[in-house]
Amino acid sequence: MIKVRTPLGYNPSISEQETNNEPSQTIPDLSYTIRELLEKFAHGVMPPVGRDVVYDEDPDIDNPDPTRDPAFDLSDATRLKEESLEILQKQEDEQASKTKEANKKQAIKEAKELLQLESEAKEKEEPKPLPEPE
């Protein structure tokens, strides 16, 4: 037979209740009183009571966007900018060295082809007869 719980027959036991054994994370005297909230509302200066929550429709777990973090501030932006500039500089240097290497190889290849064409032209060139003495 299946037991069905109803509001009238429910008897909570100690084992079903949740207990918190972790230290409290609340900060003393950080909350506003109702009076303070009403006064600030009346003056049009509401304090940031809640935290802005961002719901991404397509979260990228592998590459999170650090600017969407509520704790992101100007010092983080400066650090992120410097890191990005360093990465870009490295990529530009690598690209420049690859381009330089490719240009060098192309120049060597063209020089070899030119030498080969010159040697073929000399081989095909027939010796001119010497003019007869008068």
pLDDT in tens, the chain (134 residues): 787 878 887 777 756 677 788 888 887 777 888 898 899 889 988 777 676 666 666 667 777 778 877 788 888 889 999 999 999 999 999 999 999 999 999 999 999 999 988 888 877 776 666 677 76
117 assigned to some structural domain: yes
115 assigned to some structural domain: yes
Instruction: Give the separation between CA 110 and CA 133, rounded to whole angstroms.
Output: 44
101 assigned to some structural domain: yes
Q: Give the range of the structural domain holding residue 110, as residue numbers without chain letter.
A: 96-121
Radius of gyration of the chain measured on its C-alpha atoms: 40
Exposure string over 37-48, b if 16+ CB within 10 A, otherwise e: eeeeeeeeeeee
Number of domains in the chain: 1
Instruction: Provide CB contacts within 8 A for 49, sequence distance 6+.
Output: 32, 37
2 assigned to some structural domain: no
14 assigned to some structural domain: no
66 assigned to some structural domain: no
- Give φ, ψ of 99 to 5 degrees: -65, -40
79 assigned to some structural domain: no
24 assigned to some structural domain: no
DSSP 109: H
